[in-house]
Amino acid sequence: MDANTIQIPGFEKPVSRVALGTWAIGGWMWGGPDDDNGVRTIHRALDEGVDLIDTAPVYGFGHSEEIVGRALAEKPNKACIATKLGLDWKDDKPFRNSTPARIRKEVEDSLRRLRVDTIDLEQIHWPDANTPIDESARELQKLHQEGKIRALGVSNFSPEQMDIFREVAPLASTQNPYNIFERALEDDILPYAKKNHEVLLAYGPLCRGMLTGKMNANTTFPDTDLRASDPKFQKEHFPAYLAAIDELKEVADRRGKSLMVFAIRWVLDQGPTIALWGARKPEQISGIADVFGWSLTEEDKKAVNDILARHVPTPIRPTFMAPPQSH
């Protein structure tokens, strides 16, 4: 294992510390799908050395998984797959459902869509308050013992909820929002992951594209775009974030890096982390290689913290993304 890879407990081999996130490829909340471009994007990521693909049934209501399955069938044995379960939907509106029956159905459906016999990492997408966590964990452990899952993870769980899960089944990973602007998990979840030898899959490391540095005060989003409902992108908050980005660009420039690469490297330097690089077009993969082979200095980290303290002293949490408990 080298500095560019990390071992997820239960995996046969280490995987790249940058994974491809495929929410946008599914199309839902990102302006609709473009299947051929999605396949090309996955292939480009594989060519760049990415060998972990993160997806979920709710991304396009099965569509993202189908595209991942198609892409990997054309380039077999090139990547591990992380997917999720525990979100049901009705009339294209998701809600939480982690009952044992739903879990088993979702695993079978995911195996079919992904065209594989075993899912490398299966994660509960959101905690379901209506289903005891130990019941969900027990069903996942059964599926693990049946050889349909290699490793188990959770997403958006608290440390207390992870403790309940771990009493029943081994927990290899946790997936949570994490980026320069969204850092609440540093208080509890990141220390928990370090203590319990879990890998943290950081979703949204570019904060829905904000940390690409390509947005400005005139940037707008259609109603079908997730960012139209993200408070950070609204007029009362957006200018402060853009001001922070201007200064973050200067810090990245001093290191000879783009802001996007700098932001991903920042996530990787925080601990046992994997950054989920979301993309839906092949050109959006450009830059992954630049993430590796260097680290932020203490001066860089201090500069980031100083910029946030001046411009975003009370950062907005991504709670707007949480799906309802029931339909």
Q: Catalytic amino acids?
A: 59
Instruction: Count how many Cα atoms sit within 13 Å of the Cα of residue 309 in the half-sphere of its side chain.
Output: 6
Spatial neighbors of 172 by CB under 8 A, at least 6 apart, are: 8, 9, 10, 11, 121, 151, 152, 153, 198, 199
Distances (CA, A) of 299 to 245, 251, 264, 290, 304: 17, 10, 17, 20, 9
Which residues, listed in sequence order, are joined to residue 176 by a DSSP beta bridge? 202
What's the CA gap between 29 and 168, in Å, rounded? 35
Which residues, listed in sequence order, are joined to residue 225 by a DSSP beta bridge? 30
Instruction: Residue count of the chain, please give it.
Output: 327
Spatial neighbors of 281 by CB under 8 A, at least 6 apart, are: 34, 37, 41
Q: What angle do CA 153, 23, 65 make, to 5 degrees?
A: 75
What's the CA gap between 61 and 224, in Å, rounded? 15
